Amino acid sequence: MSRLTTTMTTRLTTAMMWLMGRGDEASCAEVARHLQSYLDGHTDATQVRRIEKHLEHCRRCGLEARTYREIKGALSRRGAPVDPAAAARLTAFGQSLLAAGGDRPDDEGPA
């Protein structure tokens, strides 16, 4: 194998690991599906470990988690009940951003 082919194979393998998740780490898509439940404390210990391991390495998912935490914090400090329709719109907006951006590795390092 040429050096170029080896380099390309290594990068492709790395990208596939990010997209599909590693055995003990969630993928971007899996984090997107379970992020709200994770942040609300409604995931089992195995899922928590997989998501936390992913968030350590994926800047994009880490930023999304941090944003949701800040929103939840601001809403809880406000003291008023959260309008379920507004929460649904916010969730739909987040999902539309994820769908528009697709799942891809982020080379910028941890969040």
Query: DSSP per residue over 47-67, as a string?
Result: HHHHHHHHHHH-HHHHHHHHH
pLDDT reported for residue 35: 92
| pLDDT mean for each 10 residues of the chain (111 residues) | 70 60 77 92 93 92 92 79 84 85 49 44
pLDDT on residue 82? 73
Give the whole-angstrom CA distance, residue 19 versus residue 111: 17
At residue 91, what is the residue type?
T
What pLDDT was estimated at residue 109? 44
The pTM assigned to this predicted structure is 0.52
User: What tokens were used for 72?
Assistant: 């939840």
